Amino acid sequence: MAYLGMDLNRFILEEERKHPDATGSLSMALTAIETAAKIIAAHVRMAGLADILGQAGKTNIQGEEVQKLDEFSNEVMIKHLSDSGQFFALASEELDEPLCSPKGVNGKYVIAFDPLDGSSNIDVNVNIGTIFSIHRRVKGTEEDFLQEGYKQVAAGYIIYGSSTMFVLTTGNGVNGFTLDPSVGLFLLSHPNMKIPEKGKIYSINEANSKKWIDSELTDYIQTLKDEGYTSRYIGSMVADVHRTLIKGGMFGYPADKKNRSGKLRLLYEAAPMAFIIEQAGGKATDGRTDILQIKPTDIHQRTPVFLGSKKEINQLIEFIK
């Protein structure tokens, strides 16, 4: 077999070796996420055939119930994370309350995740993704989910698109791995990812501008337009953040009169993406406070989010002050 280079499994083990006191627990935790991601990726690829296989929520040609992809993804994540035994508790966008897995009774970590963010885009074949955030177990209660983002042990996302990419940080930079389905390995395709100091793209749903609580944002966006920026907005956070990480610029979802705390969730959307962006040399804020400094009070709380290159985010903060 041709030399494939570094893959995610070997990368995780080599990272573990850098920490003499490591027990292998985080490695097993990340490997469980990797396995779940491969299964979800295989099913996302089949989503386009739902009409032939049977629309999600209906029965397929074998008369079987076809699960909605976000429900399926949630079940796959719960099964693999629980079976790993590394997580004391799991919090999911799809669950009202956290789950404690019997096998995780001695787990060193808790994990919050969005199993399939942007799932409303599936039927138009737009990129979607899984987002996760891992914290240490401290008290062994639900409060362990309510730690500030800067305390995350690891965070990442898997984007299901023209290729499937796993983007990961364990607090020591950001690395991107692309799935080679022919061998079933995530290969290191984007080592040591760094966001450009500035970009040429702004990403925000301008249709909401009349409802934005911070009306100064309209002047900020106009300034970017005057500086020659272009607009790109996919409406799938993982895709918009991934492009921002690679190309630079800014992505934002402000608070508005409909979503007065913003639409995106702090624990399993804003905080993990903020950790990734800051580890890649960018910045993430709610407009007034760094996302990673916000102390959560509720597992499903929402927050305004602005993240991206330092130039654009520092410029935004000056407008909102």
Q: Which residues contribute to the site for ligand P6P (CB under 6 A)? A: 117-118, 120, 205, 235-237, 240, 253, 263
Q: Which residue of this chain has its Cβ atom nearest to ligand P6P in the complex?
A: 237
User: What whole-number distance in Å separates Cα of residue 92 and Cα of residue 81?
Assistant: 12
DSSP 8-state class, residue 266: I
- The nearest distance, CB 70 to ligand P6P, in angstroms, is 10
| Helices 69-84, 25-46: inter-axial angle, 10-degree rounding | 160
From residue 19, alpha-carbon distances to 6, 12, 193, 216 in Å are 19, 11, 22, 46
- The nearest distance, CB 237 to ligand P6P, in angstroms, is 3
- The nearest distance, CB 281 to ligand P6P, in angstroms, is 22
The first and second tokens of residue 187, run together, are 């290969």
Length reported for the chain: 321
- The set of residues, in sequence order, having a beta carbon less than 8 Å from that of 177 and lying 6+ positions away, is 7, 8, 11, 165, 166, 167, 168, 186, 187, 188, 189, 190
The beta strand positions in the chain, using DSSP E, are 87-92, 109-117, 128-136, 154-160, 164-169, 174-180, 185-190, 201-203, 230-231, 250-253, 283-285, 305-308
- The nearest distance, CB 161 to ligand P6P, in angstroms, is 13
- The nearest distance, CB 115 to ligand P6P, in angstroms, is 12
Q: Count the Cβ atoms, other than its own, within 10 Å of residue 17.
A: 9
Judged by CB, which is closer to ligand P6P: 88, or 253?
253
User: What whole-number distance in Å separates Cα of residue 274 and Cα of residue 214?
Assistant: 21
Judged by CB, which is closer to ligand P6P: 175, or 236?
236
Judged by CB, which is closer to ligand P6P: 178, or 205?
205
Q: Contact, 231 vs 247, CB < 8 A?
A: no
- The nearest distance, CB 229 to ligand P6P, in angstroms, is 18
Judged by CB, which is closer to ligand P6P: 29, or 316?
316
- The nearest distance, CB 71 to ligand P6P, in angstroms, is 16
Judged by CB, which is closer to ligand P6P: 248, or 254?
254
Judged by CB, which is closer to ligand P6P: 80, or 263?
263
24 phi and psi, to 5 degrees? Answer: 90, -5
Judged by CB, which is closer to ligand P6P: 177, or 268?
268
Judged by CB, which is closer to ligand P6P: 60, or 208?
208
The first and second tokens of residue 257, run together, are 């009169």
- The nearest distance, CB 243 to ligand P6P, in angstroms, is 12
Q: Contact, 184 vs 38, CB < 8 A?
A: yes
